[in-house]
Structure 1
Amino acid sequence: MSLPKRRKFRTFALLVCIITFTTFLFSYTFRDPSIYFLKYAFRLSDSFSSKGLCACRQCMVELDDDPWFGERFNHSIHPLMTKDNSILSDETFKWWQWLQSERHPANFTEVVEELFQVIPDEVLYMDASPERCRTCAVVGNSGNLKGSGYGRRIDSCDFIIRMNQAPTSGFEDDVGARTTHHVMYPESAIDLDNTTNLVLIPFKTLDLQWIISALTTGTIKQTYVPVMSRIKANKDKVLIYSPSFFKYVYESWLEGHGRYPSTGFLSLLFAVHICDEVSVFGFGADQYGNWHHYWEENHLAGAFRHTGVHDGDYEYNVTLLLADKHKIRMFKGR
């Protein structure tokens, strides 16, 4: 065989190998779509440790620029629970059960199995490309939002995370109108529109049972207080905050202060892990030192600092430190 013919044969053989491998790869992926979704979603979290994917002027994760941040931030712990990562270590499970003790908790494994028959078991929770700048607004409930005029700035972000009761109707000028992710637990639940992701923070096995019930039969009407038996929400957009991530936030970022983190602080760390730029609104007291919600007329209301459960001062100091280190942008309102 002449030299030109041998080269053509080798080139043809190489092309056949490439086509065969590509065909096998795609057929394998589409036989099991969950593999694609899981790898894509996990890549969103993992990509924050890789420079070059973020298109922001200053990206959240630049681990080499600040030792304090680098010691605490762990991109390998994923914020959301899936069917595949739902197995908890004994240490994590005991810690999580200790948060709100149950007398006769249901079997966790069986509850999780039922849960992911009702909601999706993949974690495709970001719509933005990992090659772009993902901007996120974490909107707390502080009274310092009242009269702030932050509404347009908040609504301009790609992802807008709110928590607990957090009304927007009538407060749009100050808090915005859009919500992409709403963080709640059974005792703070509200109805959502069909486009919003419900992010459930489970403090106990019963909370997982509650979301199953609230989306189906409505049989669970009480935890340690009466709760909504049914909830309006898109069950295809229900996400579960991982107990493992919960524990990581408590130990790495709060260093054990308080009994467990507040919803606001858990939402903030969720954003730190899924966003490139994080803007924080509605955290802390108002200009007069009052800790109340922006929808409350009584400026002395708000039980956040009186529960004894959260260390509000420590959480706020960590939040300010993140701002001082230019990891987040803090908007303090009025």
Structure 2
Amino acid sequence: MRRRLYPQVGAASHSHCRTSKMKTITRLLILFLSVSGICVFWGEEVLQYVLPQQQRSCACDRCLFENDTLAIQNISRFPQPLLSRKYNLSEEDFNWWKRLQPGGGSISDYRKKIEKVFQLIPDNPPLEASSPGYCRTCAVVGNSRNLLKSHYGPLIDFQDYVIRINKGRSEGFEADVGNRTTHRVMYPTSASQLDNTTHPVLFAFKMWDLGWITRVLSTQQSKKPLFNKDLVMVLNPAFMTNIHKVWLKRKGACPSTGFMALVLSLHICDEVHVFGFGADSDGNWSHYWEQITYKRLRTGRHPGKPLATGWSGFPFTLPHPR
């Protein structure tokens, strides 16, 4: 009887080993298939994220020139926004620009003045190019009384570039308007003292303005300078002309400084946040740091309705109601 048991025990042991081996193989196969499935799924997810990023122009949630709107198509065909020594202004654009203010002069006079300007400031001012790995953000800060009690100061200062307009003040209003300024756009005649790191972006509306730039920069060595001449930028008159023709449909005398600052920001940043534009409760474009006495000012010499609708096609972020 005992001899009969031995073969049975051996058979059972052999069968048990074979079963264990099959289970092990099955488990390994399941593990392999699971890992393979995870890798395939993960790979697809990564490719869905990585490949579009490599093909995109910036790292923002939405990049400006990826929008196929009429506004973006038009802006992509605009002349260069900042003037350079070699830019050849056409007679047509010059004649439009010349009519903005009295003073006259010929296009040859204009070219002579431009040559003098670029003997004092850098030619081809650098603008940081778009990059798939970076999102350039701008805050364009208008001067509307809508900014009061907004508490947008920290959000404004958080952006890479902070563009302020003419005499827009920070002191005393930091909680609402912030305190950083990287670029200040302004008429030459309304230029104010800037720190050594702020870019003055001068909007010259007449021949006299170009002469003013030369005079001020030439005499800065003998007195406290208004601004760092190595950071000076001058808006291209052809850029002004195109804004008036394309966006404002030739309405009004000329685009406002604020509206041109908005369009300029589209050439500097991938994502633009707009603050402090629009009328006050009386329908006036009043400034947050002052009280107006003339209650029927409205939009002044600028066309309010075209300005309000002109940016409707742009991907601006407007956190404050206009």
| Same topology, TM > 0.5 | yes
- Residues 128 and 169 of structure 1, relative CA distance in 2, 3 Å threshold: farther
* Partner of residue 160 from structure 1, selected from 159, 162, 166: 162
* Partner of residue 302 from structure 2, selected from 283, 302, 310: 310
Q: For 1:136 and 1:251, how far apart are their aligned partners in 2?
A: 25
Q: For 2:181 and 2:132, how far apart are their aligned partners in 1?
A: 21
**1:240 match:** 234
Q: Aligned-residue CA RMSD in angstroms?
A: 2.5
The code of the aligned residue for 1:313 comes to: K
Classify the secondary structure of the residue corresponding to 1:182.
strand
The code of the aligned residue for 1:210 comes to: W
Q: TM-score, normalized by length of structure 2?
A: 0.76
The code of the aligned residue for 2:253 comes to: R
For residues 196-207 of structure 1, the aligned pairs below 5 Å read 196-207=198-209
Asked if the contact 1:198/1:233 (under 8 Å) is kept, the reply is yes
For residues 45-194 of structure 1, the aligned pairs below 5 Å read 52-64=56-68, 66=69, 68-75=70-77, 77-85=79-87, 87-103=88-104, 107-126=109-128, 131-194=133-196
Q: For 2:131 and 2:293, how far apart are their aligned partners in 1?
A: 42
Cα deviation per residue 1:245-298 (whole Å; 9 max; x = unaligned)?
A: 111111111111111100000000001222100010000013564431000134
Cα drift, residue 302 of structure 1:
9.0
The code of the aligned residue for 1:145 comes to: L
- Residues 290 and 254 of structure 1, relative CA distance in 2, 3 Å threshold: closer
Asked if the contact 2:58/2:130 (under 8 Å) is kept, the reply is no
Asked if the contact 1:292/1:302 (under 8 Å) is kept, the reply is no
Asked if the contact 1:155/1:178 (under 8 Å) is kept, the reply is yes
Q: For 2:251 and 2:57, how far apart are their aligned partners in 1?
A: 34
**1:283 match:** 277
Cα drift, residue 187 of structure 1:
2.8
Cα drift, residue 141 of structure 1:
0.3
**2:265 match:** 271
Cα deviation per residue 1:214-264 (whole Å; 9 max; x = unaligned)?
A: 12237xxxxxxxxxx985100000001001111111111111111110000
Cα drift, residue 332 of structure 1:
2.3
Cα drift, residue 108 of structure 1:
1.3
**2:319 match:** 331
**2:255 match:** 261
Classify the secondary structure of the residue corresponding to 1:208.
helix
Aligned length: 266
Asked if the contact 2:141/2:177 (under 8 Å) is kept, the reply is yes
**1:322 match:** 313
Identity %: 43
- Residues 206 and 74 of structure 1, relative CA distance in 2, 3 Å threshold: same
**2:290 match:** 296
Cα drift, residue 304 of structure 1:
6.0
**1:20 match:** none
- Residues 298 and 90 of structure 1, relative CA distance in 2, 3 Å threshold: closer
Q: For 1:119 and 1:303, how far apart are their aligned partners in 2?
A: 37
Q: For 1:51 and 1:187, how far apart are their aligned partners in 2?
A: 44
Asked if the contact 1:137/1:157 (under 8 Å) is kept, the reply is yes
Q: For 2:174 and 2:318, how far apart are their aligned partners in 1?
A: 19
Classify the secondary structure of the residue corresponding to 1:99.
coil
For residues 1-12 of structure 1, the aligned pairs below 5 Å read none
The code of the aligned residue for 1:100 comes to: Q
Unmatched runs of 5 consecutive residues or more in structure 2: 1-53
Q: For 2:110 and 2:91, how far apart are their aligned partners in 1?
A: 12
Asked if the contact 1:138/1:160 (under 8 Å) is kept, the reply is yes
The reply to whether residue 250 of structure 1 matches residue 252 of structure 2 is no
Q: For 1:280 and 1:274, how far apart are their aligned partners in 2?
A: 14
Cα deviation per residue 1:89-110 (whole Å; 9 max; x = unaligned)?
A: 1111111111112155781111
Cα drift, residue 300 of structure 1:
5.6
Unmatched runs of 5 consecutive residues or more in structure 1: 1-49, 219-228
Cα drift, residue 313 of structure 1:
2.1
Q: TM-score, normalized by length of structure 1?
A: 0.73
Cα deviation per residue 1:181-219 (whole Å; 9 max; x = unaligned)?
A: 10011232111100000000011121111011112237x
